[in-house]
Structure 1
């Protein structure tokens, strides 16, 4: 069965704009907000959200944005020992006392976010941690819920959600559902 596109580039753009405004509303502006994208696709999504938040806030306001590699905090390293390490890049002024918004492409089991929370604990003490995802597909194994969701996509565990971003994949942004890889 071929993959079925559920979001095109304009849908992704609209979702990110809505999430940016929701972040601003929940946090009463962006003054205390730091965005941390989880590589691979969470990092460019975080940069896009930062640009949208800055545009909405105006007056040259820049939102600190960085990336958070969670590879060494994962609980499945023994099952998949060969992983490419991503980059952790904490922006100034760090994360202490700030509202950290973790950004990822797909929320599935919750294990990546659990790893991200462990990594954050080693890097500092934020005032709060929030989660923004482009797609929430369900099937949680841990009690983790996103604060900001672009699209809820109920899926079966036999399906795969593929997110394509221009910065990473060199193709127009899209989200599709297809059969899981064997």
Structure 2
């Protein structure tokens, strides 16, 4: 069988999901006081920025947004040369203050949970937050670790033979989420 491609979220669907997540974050946290957004490189940072923009439109206040590079924290790669305090950056000026903050961590796709575990390790090395919440655009299942998102744009049950591909305008020139693989096959 040939590999099939199905668009499961278009630009409008992504925009609606991110708007809903922004409202859910505001509701759960009763505003944005003591919150900091941290996006996992690459696409998580753009999701964090987009949601921060929506919250600024709704609340009239901004939330700090940082970028997280977890390369040296991955358990499936050899250690990098990055120091632990180089993992989170905010606009190239250093890490946002996360000590005693409610950190909302952003990623595009949640799969096994290993990326999120690495991200939490990096955050804890930087400073002890009050809490860590997780926002993802797509949850595709197949967890290997006990990690569950607090905010989900779309749940997409998949087989292990399928892949989810997130494209964002900032990186890829267009917004969409595509499922690739053999629908209906099990892995």
Asked if Structure 1 and Structure 2 have the same fold, meaning a TM-score greater than 0.5 normalized by the shorter chain, the answer is yes
Q: How many residues align?
A: 175
| Partner of residue 21, structure 1 | 23
| Partner of residue 76, structure 1 | 76
Deviation at 1:87, TM superposition (A): 6.3
Alignment of 1:4-19 (within 5 A): 4-19=6-21
Cα shift readout 1:129-161 (whole Å, capped 9, x = no counterpart): 000000000000000000000000000000010
Does the alignment pair 1:89 with 2:92? no
Check the 8 A contact 1:64/1:92 in 2, yes or no. Answer: no
Alignment of 1:26-175 (within 5 A): 26-58=28-60, 61-78=61-78, 88-90=88-90, 94-170=97-173, 172-175=174-177
What secondary structure is seen at the aligned counterpart in 1 of 2:26?
helix
TM (norm. structure 1) is: 0.90
Deviation at 1:88, TM superposition (A): 2.6
Aligned-partner Cα distance in 1 for 2:102–2:156 = 27
Query: Following TM superposition, where does structure 1 have runs of at least 4 consecutive aligned residues deviating by more than 3 angstroms?
Result: 90-93
Aligned-partner Cα distance in 2 for 1:160–1:56 = 34
Flag structure 1 segments of 5+ consecutive residues without an equivalent: none
C-alpha change, 1:114 and 1:92, in structure 2 (3 Å) is closer
Deviation at 1:93, TM superposition (A): 5.3
Flag structure 2 segments of 5+ consecutive residues without an equivalent: 81-85, 183-187
Aligned-partner Cα distance in 2 for 1:151–1:5 = 13
RMSD between aligned residues: 2.3
Aligned-partner Cα distance in 1 for 2:158–2:45 = 24
Aligned-partner Cα distance in 1 for 2:13–2:104 = 21
